[in-house]
Amino acid sequence: MHESGFRHEMLTYAGGRTGFIGGVLPLVSQALDRGAPVLVAVRRDLIDALRRELGDDARRVRFRDMESLGRNPARIIPVWAGFLAGEGAGRRALGVGEALWPGRSDAESDECDLHEGLLNRAFGDGRGWDLVCPYDADRLGDDVIGRAGRSHAFVRREGLSERSPSFGREASGWPALSGRLPAPRSEPVHEMRFAAGDLAAVRAFVASLADSAGLTRQAVDDLALAVSELATNSILHGGGSGMCRVWSEGSNLLCEVSDSGEIRSPMAGRVKPAPDQVGGRGLWVVNQICELVQLRSGSGGTVVRIHTRRRP
């Protein structure tokens, strides 16, 4: 399967768990036979099914629950980087990661597309390893599969692998970062402009609306902290001021911070800061504590949108 460099492969499967096992089990078994480190990050039910099929060999595989890890896709790349720096160091490793599963929202799907492209930027010039990304062809639309083909250099179907004919210009994920987010789909949209000296007021503004929307105390605190980090970035790097907007859509509370600055690094917030690093932690913190974060930036400014689910 493997070749020199980073091999990013989409695996399409049909038949639910049975199809997933049929596609993934041979690759994991082959990797274990050659002594390769293996990390499988998929949904809980697929982990359970794969463990049963592997038997005793499951102890040699590291598993991560993608429904928790990948709820915010911006958290996934640092996990792969940590895996390669740890047990994957010095050997050609195998990763299996299903970032986009059936039932994801449109916003989550957009961020998964961006994540898949940024994987090529994050690992394309580094050490060689194999990353297989399963896609449920029965339950995901043809448009989803088609988009995934643009960010994966290889496509595997029914045990056969070939180069993806649509892989190319958009493979780095960067064009999507300069796109636009959808306008709010419901009213009211609460707005607050802020500048230096307004951080406490911004936190109070967001916390009050989040509390009124029924978020848990922990969710209220996390959202207030995240917005404080984003507003600080706007004041320091985004022209000295910005706008905070809050509104509800269905079961989600959305909070957005925008300013006139431009973020030039597509990996912003996706690389773990070094312990002695000065600055550069704001977006990292936001990605770690929030369920879904959408970042768009270009010459017209920067927008960061946070999605938080309201739970009973």
Closest by CA to 253, choosing from 201, 206, 203, is: 206
Mean pLDDT of all residues in 220-237: 96
The matching CATH number, chosen from 3.30.565.10, 1.10.10.10, 2.40.110.10, 3.40.50.1370, for 178-309 is 3.30.565.10
Mean of all residue pLDDT scores within the chain:
93
- 247-264 core/surface letters (b: 16 or more CB in 10 A; e: else): bbeeebbbbbbbbebebe
What are the tens digits of pLDDT across the range 20-60? 999 999 999 999 999 999 999 999 999 999 999 999 999 99
**What pLDDT is recorded for position 174?**
65
Is the CA virtual torsion 17, 18, 19, 20 positive or negative? positive
Q: Is pLDDT larger for residue 264 or for residue 83?
A: 83
Q: Considering only 25-34, 207-216, 221-230, 268-277, which range has the smallest mean pLDDT?
A: 268-277
- The pair of structure tokens assigned to 225 is 């902290």
Within 75-170, strands assigned E span 94-97, 129-136, 154-157, 160-163
Does this chain's domain 6-174 share its CATH topology with 178-309?
A: no
What are the tens digits of pLDDT across the range 8-24? 999 999 999 999 999 99
Ordered by start, the domain boundaries in the chain are 6-174, 178-309
**What pLDDT is recorded for position 284?**
96
Q: Is pLDDT larger for residue 213 or for residue 179?
A: 213
Q: What share of the chain is helix, strand, coil (3-state, %, to 5)?
A: 40, 25, 35
Is the CA virtual torsion 178, 183, 248, 224 positive or negative? positive
Its CATH class, for the domain covering 6-174, is alpha beta
Mean pLDDT of all residues in 120-134: 92
Beta bridge partner(s), residue 39:
62, 95
Backbone angles phi, psi at 59, to 5 degrees: -70, -20
